[in-house]
Structure 1
Amino acid sequence: MPVPDSKSSDEQKEAWRRARLLVGAAVRNERLRAGLTQEALALESGVTRNMLIHVEHGNRGVSFERIYDLAEALGIDAAALMPPSDPASGEGR
């Protein structure tokens, strides 16, 4: 069972924030590389444009399933959107 956010340590919350930023940057970079607008990627992947905006800015996490939907729409492997095992490193794949 997931731990409620209020029960998470400050270190864990910071690690999640860094991971969201890394995933969002990867989505944006791959979207631009593919020459897609946010609207086009949203339509292709099945996410809303508003959600995509929040994901790209690192303000919102994205579900495991949506990572695959975004990767498929971008024509890449889902692993390309995932941060390293230790988001504290601040480096993407």
Structure 2
Amino acid sequence: MQVIAPAGMELEPLTVRECECLRELAQGERPQRIAATLGIAPITVDFHIRNARRKLGARTREHAIAIALSHGLLSKVSLNTCLKLKTAV
């Protein structure tokens, strides 16, 4: 099953931090652990995840992960792609 953003919606570019937080979340990490890994506060992790959800048009964290995965945004190699994302879904 392919999960995509609403039809015709153009995705706003994600920051590298937003992609990093989503990637860690997708690997099963909790915000506290993500914060420790990235050297930021847990509330900042939540902030980045909320922003990523909004930019991707996702209803939940899981939905945001699915959209990001379907666009190949969560691999370490693709973190630079996050800033360049501007494609119609």
Coarse TM-score class (shorter-chain normalised): 0.3 to 0.5
**Higher normalized helix content (fraction of residues):** 1
TM-score (norm 2): 0.43
Tell which structure's C-alpha radius of gyration is larger. Answer: 1
TM-score (norm 1): 0.42
